[in-house]
Amino acid sequence: MSDQLIVRGAPQTYECKEGILKELEDMLTERTVTKCLIIHGEKSLHAAKPFLPSFESVRVHYEKYRGECSLSEISRLREIIQKEEYEAVIGIGGGKILDLTKAVGTETKAPVILVPTLASSCAAWTPLSVYYTDEGQFIYYRYHTESANIVLVEPQIILESPVEYFIAGIGDTLAKWYEADVLIRGLNERPLAVDIAYYSAKTCEQVLFDLSSQAVEDQNKSVLSSAFIKVVETIIIAGGMVGGFGDNFGRIAGAHSIHNGLTQIEETHHLLHGEKVSYGILVQLVLEKKWEDVSKLITLYQELNLPYSLSDLRLNVEEREKIAIVAEAAATPAESIHLMDQKITAESVIEAIMSLEEYVAETIIRNY
C-alpha cells in the first residue's frame, strides 16, 4: 500500500433537515447560478419532486439518466452541459446517479450539488465515482479533484425509500470499521488524518450496533426519529469520512473482495451491494479468526435480515464449483483482500466460507 495520504474530507456545504430542499434555489442564487442541469432517475425524481422548490429565478432542465455511470453516459451529459452552458449540475438519486453527477462535474468543471434519495452508501459524501460499462460491468473507480459543492439530505425522502436499501447501507457501513481496522491497527505511527478515519470507522460500528435495529423499525413505521436520522447520517457522513481522511488506509480490504467474488455468480444477483458486503465482513473475520466478532455480527444480521449463510446467497455447501469461483475472484492478485496482514489464497477463502457455514449451523442448532 502506498504511504501517500491525500485527504478528501467533506463537501463544501452539507445540511440535513426537513424542508432543506426548499432552500436549494436560494443556495444556487447565492452562488450566481442562473441555469443548471438536473440528472435523475424516474423513481428518484418522483421521490424528490414534492420537496423541490419551484425554481422561479433559476432555469433548470431535467435529464433522465440511462442506467449506468458509464463513459458514454458521462460524455452524453457533458455535451448537453457544454452546449446549453449550464452553470451547475444537480444529481438526485442513489449511488450511481450521484457518481455520474460527480463525474460529469469533473468533466465540465461545473459545481456539483447532490441530493441523495437513498441511504445505501456514502456516495453523497465521497469525491469518488465507480465507472461501469453500459451493460453494468465494473471498469474502475476514480477520485475527483474537488468535492461536491453542496450536499442536501431531506430525511423524509430517505424515510419513504425502500427499507431494503437502508438495511444494505447499514451493512456496507459496518464494513467501514472491520476493513479500516485490519488496515490501520498495525501501523506503528498514524498520521492525524488516519486517526480521524479510524475514529470515524469506530463511530460507524458503535452507532450502528446501538441504533440500527431501532432505526429500521422506525422506518417501517414511517417514524422520523432521532435514531433514524443518526443512522442515515452515520452512513453518509461517518462512512464518507473513513475513506475521506484515511485514503487508502480507510478504504476496502477483505469484505469488498468477497463482494466482488460473489458478483461472479448469478445466484447472488438478487442481493444489493451492501448485502453482499455484509456477508463479506463475516468471511474476512473468519480469515482473521475473530469468532467473537462473527457471533456479535450474526446476532445483528438476524435482527436486520442481512445474509450470513450460503442459503441466504441462494447457494449451498454442495455447490463447491460455484464457491470456488467466488473464492478465486476474491483472491485475484489485484484484490484488496491482499491488504490484510496475512497471506490469502483462493483455498483459504474457501476454507473460511466453509468454516463460517459450519459455525452458523452449530449456532442455530444451539440457539433453537
203 is in an annotated binding site: no
Does 256 carry a binding-site annotation?
Answer: yes
DSSP letter at 70? B
Q: Which helix (H) or strand (E) holds 14?
A: strand 13-16
Catalytic pick among 40, 181, 259, 293:
259
Does 97 show up as a binding residue in the annotation? yes
Q: Does the annotation count 172 as an active-site position?
A: yes
Q: 314: alpha, beta or left, given left = phi > 0 and alpha = psi -120 to 50? A: left
Write the CB contacts of 182 (distance below 8 Å, at least 6 apart in sequence): 253, 254, 284, 288, 339, 340, 341
Catalytic position from the list 144, 181, 247, 273: 273
**Annotation marks residue 259 as catalytic:** yes
Is 273 annotated in some ligand binding site?
A: yes
Q: 46 labelled as ligand-binding?
A: no
| 150 is known to lie in a ligand binding site | no
256 catalytic residue (yes or no): yes
Q: Consult the annotation and say whether 21 binds a ligand.
A: no
Q: Are 199 and 334 in contact (CB under 8 A)?
A: no
Label the pairing between strands 128-132 and 138-143: antiparallel
> What is the three-class DSSP state of 127?
coil
Is 65 assigned to a binding site?
Answer: no
Whether 273 sits among the annotated catalytic residues: the reply is yes
3-state secondary structure of 321: helix
Question: Is 40 marked within a binding site?
Answer: no
- 128 annotated as a binding-site residue: yes
Distances (CA, A) of 344 to 165, 257, 301, 337: 31, 11, 26, 7
Which of 362, 215, 348 lies closest to 294 in space, CA to CA? 362
Say which of 144, 172, 218, 293 is annotated catalytic: 172
Is 118 a known ligand-binding residue? yes
* Residue 132 labelled as part of a binding site: yes
Helix, strand, coil percentages, rounded to 5, for the chain: 60, 10, 30
Residue 117 assigned ligand-binding role: yes
* C-alpha–C-alpha distance, residues 99 and 110, integer Å: 14
Binding residues for NAD(+): 95-99, 117-120, 126, 128, 132
Binding residues for glycerol: 172, 256, 273
Just list the catalytic residues: 172, 256, 259, 273
Binding residues: 95-99, 117-120, 126, 128, 132, 172, 256, 273
